[in-house]
Amino acid sequence: MKNKEPAIVGLTNKENKPYNFSRFLRRNWWFLLLAFSKILNQSERDGASGSTFLDVIVLGGIIFALMAAYWFVRYGRHISSQPESAPKPDQANTGSPKKIGAVIIQFYGEDKASVEYMSEAMANASRESDLVQMFTLYYAKMLFNLGRGEPADALVKHITTAGVSVFNDGSPKRANVLSSGQELVKSGFGSVTKTYAGELYEKSDGTRVIQTQMDTVGEGYYAPVSTVMFFQYLAKSLSDTALLFLVTSIAGMTKYYREVGDYSKLQSIFEAPKYGVDTAIRILTK
């Protein structure tokens, strides 16, 4: 029997306005800034100092144009096609949130699992940004589901240590963070014994929320392991930039759990991921 949680929770935004390009940039400016920083560092290493400024302007402009094109395809054309007489968002039923992506973690026994991520996002940068956000929300939700106790405490310790293992000294290591005997396998490896899943949604105002699904019985074991399997999948598949942002966000979430909030409290489901992402932005854009 599966327990599908009816509540959708996530990073909150009380505004209810059309998701125009300026709002899109305010939400994703960190990615543009990281890209500029990478371009600047690479230009300083590979070229003469006189060409650095030109490299940053040209390549940065290309990245900006790609972000603008992505915004238009996904959001802008729907806004521009809306008739002027259409009711304002706060005066109309905005309907169900739009699904951005879904992760499915299937177990084949206790120690082997596969992870699959499905998304309609075409641009890899957008896909990776969605994945990072989904993991932070999934991680926070699993901790809340576990409640205060040894399994949740052990998960925080494991994920914190895993973050250091896969990215340290300024470079990716992509180490194996699974416990002895555990293995990340391909989908369809065998007969599925347990299924855990997360679905990332976006409301009309740009707010991202998550809904999780988990099989009953054995949550104290499978919820933490599903989170670690998800992290191992990301450690092997994310780009260096996205992986750095992920592990820095995890460090921020660890600080939240140790100094700010309690993962067994409902508000931690959205506060911890936000605190982690804000911490990553602050550190990586210095």
Average pLDDT for residues 249-264, to the nearest whole number?
Answer: 95
Pair (8, 69) in one structural domain: no
Over residues 127-163, the pLDDT tens digits come to 999 999 999 999 999 999 999 999 999 999 999 999 9
Runs of H (alpha helix) within the chain? 21-46, 49-71, 77-80, 124-146, 150-166, 219-237, 240-255, 268-284
Pair (135, 175) in one structural domain: yes
122 pLDDT tier (thresholds 50, 70, 90):
confident
Pair (6, 29) in one structural domain: no
10 pLDDT tier (thresholds 50, 70, 90):
very low
State the pTM of this model.
0.69
Helix axes 240-255, 268-284, angle to 10 degrees: 120
Whether residue 165 lies inside any domain: the answer is yes
Report the alpha-carbon distance of residue 45 to residue 226 in Å, rounded: 40
Average pLDDT for residues 97-106, to the nearest whole number?
Answer: 93
Report the alpha-carbon distance of residue 21 to residue 23 in Å, rounded: 5
Which pLDDT does position 107 carry in this prediction? 97
Q: Could you give the number of structural domains in the chain? A: 2
Pair (48, 114) in one structural domain: no
Question: Which phi and psi (to 5°) does residue 118 adopt?
Answer: -120, 130
Pair (164, 206) in one structural domain: yes
Pair (29, 47) in one structural domain: yes
Report the alpha-carbon distance of residue 122 to residue 72 in Å, rounded: 13
* Residue 70 belongs to domain spanning: 21-80
- The secondary structure of 121-149 as a DSSP string is --SHHHHHHHHHHHHHHHHHHHHHHH-SS
Report the alpha-carbon distance of residue 257 to residue 273 in Å, rounded: 11
Which pLDDT does position 51 carry in this prediction? 61
Whether residue 87 lies inside any domain: the answer is no
Q: At which residue do the structure tokens 């009309």 appear?
A: 204
Question: Which phi and psi (to 5°) does residue 260 adopt?
Answer: -115, -60
**Which residues fall within 8 angstroms of residue 39, CB to CB, at 6 or more apart?**
55, 56, 59, 60
Pair (216, 274) in one structural domain: yes
Question: Which phi and psi (to 5°) does residue 233 adopt?
Answer: -60, -45
Contact 247, 254 (CB under 8 A): no
pLDDT of residue 15 exceeding 60, the answer is: no
Q: What is the biggest distance separating any 2 CA atoms in the chain, rounded to whole angstroms?
A: 65
Contact 277, 136 (CB under 8 A): yes
Collapsing DSSP states into helix, strand and coil, what is residue 66?
Answer: helix
For residue 111, give the amino acid letter: D
**Which residues fall within 8 angstroms of residue 70, CB to CB, at 6 or more apart?**
122, 123, 126
Pair (114, 37) in one structural domain: no
